[in-house]
Structure 1
Amino acid sequence: MTRNATRTLNLDFTYLEFYQNYVISTVKEGTILEEEQVDELIDTCKEHYGDEAFVYISNRKFSYNVNPLIYLNLFKIENLEGIAVTSSNPDALKTANFERHFSQVPVELFQGMDEAKAWANSLTKK
């Protein structure tokens, strides 16, 4: 379904894999995701995607904390079509379900990456 990443980037707090319609972010263990990190993510995604529509896929492979108020900054990314959260950990999905209430863009939860990628592609193919 998906080709290899067009670009990868290892930031201090996350590992990013850029694809045509989505970026997969695997935040590092023990990170506290705050506004400063989100601003860096926003700048990086704007640089990569320009005005092209994309979806942010959060691969919650490791344990980390998110300040849910960071979702209020998503208005800065006009071409962000949605956020997918993937995890095999029920507690991580439960936390993400709480966080989704702060987002102005659609947020969907998935147990598998393939489903998240399919959803991302469906959003960007409108």
Structure 2
Amino acid sequence: MNLTNLKMNLYKNEFCKMEFYTKFVIITFIEDFILTLSLANQIREKLCSYYGDENFIMINNRVHPLEISKEVYKHGQLANMKGLAFVSKQKTERDKALIEQRMFDKSFAFFEDLENAKSWANSYF
């Protein structure tokens, strides 16, 4: 068994579900909405609380369409978040992710399958 794949903790609020693993977190947004800086700050607080100074990868599991405010990328990317993976089978979400990639200055990948994103995150470290 690969211990980096072992789920350690689950957090859920009114707009997302976060599955914390040893070296990555999977965030699934519950519905179609706009991720504002205020909501992103709530996510950052949970990430800081869980990972502290440990490096991790974020996997954005886009089950529903999502718009991300540019302020989210401009204000406060976590230094220990070493990469970002987007997972979606929808071409429109992939197109949005490619635009968002320009605002993210670390490792970035896009996957159609969550298991492939997990493998990428595990192999990063």
TM-score scaled by structure 2?
Answer: 0.90
2:95 matched residue in structure 1: 94
Corresponding residue pairs, total: 123
Return the letter of the residue paired with 2:121: A
Quote how far apart the aligned CAs of 1:107 are. 1.5
Matches within 5 A, 1:18-33: 18-33=20-35
- Do the aligned residues in 2 keep the contact of 1:25 with 1:56 (CA within 8 Å)? yes
Return the letter of the residue paired with 1:103: F
2-side partners of 1:49 and 1:105: how far apart?
A: 18
Quote how far apart the aligned CAs of 1:46 are. 0.6
For 1:97, what is the secondary structure of its paired residue? helix
For 2:102, what is the secondary structure of its paired residue? helix
1-side partners of 2:64 and 2:81: how far apart?
A: 24
2:59 matched residue in structure 1: 57
2:116 matched residue in structure 1: 115
- 5+ long unaligned stretches in structure 2: none
Quote how far apart the aligned CAs of 1:3 are. 4.0
2:13 matched residue in structure 1: 11
CA RMSD across the alignment: 1.4
Return the letter of the residue paired with 1:22: F
For 2:123, what is the secondary structure of its paired residue? helix
- 5+ long unaligned stretches in structure 1: none
Quote how far apart the aligned CAs of 1:69 are. 3.2
Return the letter of the residue paired with 1:109: F
* Larger relative strand fraction: 2
After superposition, what is the alpha-carbon deviation per residue over 1:16-39, rounded to whole angstroms, capped at 9, x for unaligned?
Answer: 100011000001212210100111
